[in-house]
Amino acid sequence: MGQLIVATCIIDDIIGLVLLSEVEALVNPTPWNFIAPILSAFGFLIVLGWSAVTWMPKVIEHKYLAYFNEENREDAAFGLMVALLLGYLPLLYATKASYLMGAFLAGLTFSQIGVVHSSFVHNTEATMSWLVRIFFATTIGFQVPVKYFEKAEVIRSVYPSY
Amino acid sequence: MKTLHSVLFCAILCFGQLWSNSNASTDVLVTDLKVRGNEVAARVNKLQGEAGTTSSNPPRKERMRYSMGWSGPMGRKLDLIRNVMRRREAEDDHGDSHDDSLGVHFPVRDLYYTIIFLVAIYVGGRLAEIVGTPALAGEIIVGIALGPPAADFVPIEEALVLFGDIGLVMLILEAGIDIDLAQLKATGSRALVMAMVGIAVPLLIGYGLGSAAGLGFEAAFAVGACFAPTSLGVAAKALNAGNLLNR
């Protein structure tokens, strides 16, 4: 059940990232601004997503990591993942898809490479737990406009909806 | 000799004025120094005129003008004073320097409040766990309470949001790494249907509520989009906290 919910959340996140691009297009709502994020997001999902689960893991594991000694492979894989992340983020942002999808696709590329997950956890666990705490408290918490909750307009129109 | 004494006297006055007015703006003080410098120059000229040295000793007058001018020794001294005053102005009550040429600095108060905020996030998360809810609920509540929307306690909130966004990138990156393709293939069709329904229903409800409240298409769509996504980070943490993630 938990894995089904997680799988659902992953697909939900992918759709949500497309939706996020659509919301950003509302700033300048022209037809092209609505269509471009969908085309870009699904285009990259098909091309990079397909590559990430088919040929790229094999190339990375058998060609790239084979160059390194056993003890250096974790670092080499981690370095390549960061390089891919730094490449995908601006690429997807520039093409009007969400940069978060770039992060997702960079991670997906390494989902079948065993050493990466342990390396990622080993290198980032403590830092990430704090960054995620800060994310929930600031990126989410700071955006809640609590001062508007007591406004008559909000009380009149929003609270009855709940 | 009188001239020298006058210059020294005025210079002492200027310094005294400068140090006793440390809170005044630099420009005002420099203007004041210029006026006083001109007064000294006029007094010197007057004394020289009375002594009949104006026309008889032009090199000395020129030297004096040079000395009092902004490119001369006095000018350089005033420049030095101005730089010192700018440095003093760049210091706040706590003695922290904010001079850009010396690097990026911030008041100790900001550092102190940020540490308090980080501790509050941690404590909020722990308290939430104690009462049986996921830690992130407590962390979000602390963020709401101490953030700009409410108490506005947090200094340099953009920096914290930036770090939070880096956390989000890492969370999504980890979500990509964690994908179990075999599991996804097994649950793929059901997960896809659940995800589509999970997106479409809240989106439509939000859009409907927004439209009913009199909002335009863009605003109503934005309301629907806010309801739609289920955060993997929130779901994964909540499931993990309830030991349901791998069931």
pLDDT in tens, B90-107: 555 445 555 556 678 888
B75 contacts chain A (CB < 8 A) = no
Q: Are A4 and B190 a contacting pair at CB < 8 A? A: yes
> Which residue of A lies nearest to B223 if distances are taken between CA atoms?
A23
For position B1, what pLDDT does the model report?
47
For position B220, what pLDDT does the model report?
83
Q: Are A12 and B188 a contacting pair at CB < 8 A? A: no
- Ranking A122-131, B35-44, B180-189, B201-210 by mean pLDDT, the lowest is B35-44
Q: Is the pLDDT of residue A162 over 50?
A: yes
Residue among B242, B246, B229 at smallest CA distance from A3? B246
Q: Is the pLDDT of residue B124 over 90?
A: yes
Overall number of domains in chain A: 1
Structure confidence at residue B3 as a pLDDT band (50, 70, 90): very low
B103 SS3 class = coil
Distance of CA B12 to the CA centre of its chain: 38
Q: Cα dihedral sign for B112, B117, B118, B123?
A: positive
Place of tokens 């791998």: B246
Structure confidence at residue A137 as a pLDDT band (50, 70, 90): very high
Say if the ipTM goes beyond 0.90.
no
- Which residues have a Cβ under 8 Å from the Cβ of B21 and sit 6 or more positions away? B29
Distance CA B33, CA B22 (A): 14
Q: Are A111 and B176 a contacting pair at CB < 8 A? A: yes
- Ranking A30-44, A112-126, B36-50, B195-209 by mean pLDDT, the lowest is B36-50
For position A34, what pLDDT does the model report?
80
> Which residue of B lies nearest to A117 if distances are taken between CA atoms?
B177
Q: Which of residues 100-129 of B touch A (CB under 8 A)?
A: 117-118, 121-122, 124-125
Q: Is the pLDDT of residue B9 over 50?
A: no
Q: What does pLDDT average to over chain A?
A: 84
Q: Are A107 and B174 a contacting pair at CB < 8 A? A: yes
Distance of CA A161 to the CA centre of its chain: 32
Q: Are B183 and A7 a contacting pair at CB < 8 A? A: yes
- B166 → closest Cβ in A6, A112, A131: A131
End-to-end CA distance of chain A: 28
A116 contacts chain B (CB < 8 A) = yes
Distance CA B4, CA A87 (A): 69
For position B84, what pLDDT does the model report?
55
Q: Are B144 and A77 contacting, i.e. CB atoms less than 8 angstroms apart?
A: no
- Which residues in chain A touch residue B222, judged by CB atoms under 8 angstroms apart? 23, 26
- A133 → closest Cβ in B139, B230, B247: B139
- Which residues in chain A touch residue B157, judged by CB atoms under 8 angstroms apart? 138, 142
Q: Is the pLDDT of residue B112 over 90?
A: yes
A19 contacts chain B (CB < 8 A) = yes
- Ranking A49-53, A89-93, B94-98 by mean pLDDT, the lowest is B94-98
For position A146, what pLDDT does the model report?
83
Number of neighbouring beta carbons within 10 Å of residue A49: 19
Task: Please tell me which of A9-23, B103-117, B196-210 the model is most confident about, judged by mean pLDDT.
Answer: B103-117
Place of tokens 């003695």: B95
Distance CA A59, CA A30 (A): 41
Distance CA A28, CA A144 (A): 24
Q: To the nearest whole angstrom, how far is the Cα of B143 from the nearest Cα of chain A?
A: 4
Which residues form the domain of A150? 2-161
Q: Give whole-number Cα distances, B121 to A128, A160, B125, B135, B198, in Å.
A: 15, 32, 6, 9, 30
Structure confidence at residue B111 as a pLDDT band (50, 70, 90): very high
pTM: 0.65
> Which residue of A lies nearest to B189 if distances are taken between CA atoms?
A8
